[in-house]
Amino acid sequence: MLVVVLTSGCAVWRPLPGAGFARSAGERLPHARVSLRDGTELELDDASVTPDSIVGYGGETHTRFAVARREVVGVEGRETDGARTFVVGALAPIVAWFLVVASYFVMAAASGGVD
């Protein structure tokens, strides 16, 4: 559970290249953010990007959305940020150790002192 919480914050949105983000066979993205011409941003899960449309599931009810490519100004895919994940993974045990030691000193001080 702790690993899921720590790594969920280590994802970043990366823009997909303009002409290259839809090959003729299409592309699937687990998580996509689609920016439309009118300024609307849609976050879609299990998105399919094809040359003529982008289809995925979004909203609180996980409704299926389909958007024509001519209405799209940009698409970003969510990816894991390796550097952040490494830093969080390296710092988590150090912070946990510090909390254990600090708790020991707090409890020892409350019970009559530290030797």
- Give pLDDT tens digits for 37-55: 999 999 999 998 888 899 9
pLDDT of residue 7: 47
Whether 115 shows a pLDDT value over 80: the answer reads no
Main-chain dihedrals φ then ψ at residue 60, nearest 5 degrees: -65, -30
Q: Tell me, letter by letter, the H, E, C secondary structure of 30-69.
A: EEEEEEECCCCEEEEEEEEECCCEEEEEECCCCEEEEEEH
96 vs 89, higher pLDDT: 96
Give residue 57's pLDDT.
Answer: 95
Q: What is the pLDDT of residue 37?
A: 92
At position 103, the amino acid (one-letter code) is S
Looking at per-residue confidence, does 107 or 22 come out higher?
Answer: 107
Position 55 scores a pLDDT of 93
With a cut of 90, say whether residue 56 has pLDDT above it.
yes
Q: In the chain, where are the structural domains located?
A: 11-80, 81-115
61-90 pLDDT tens trace: 889 999 998 998 988 888 766 666 666 667
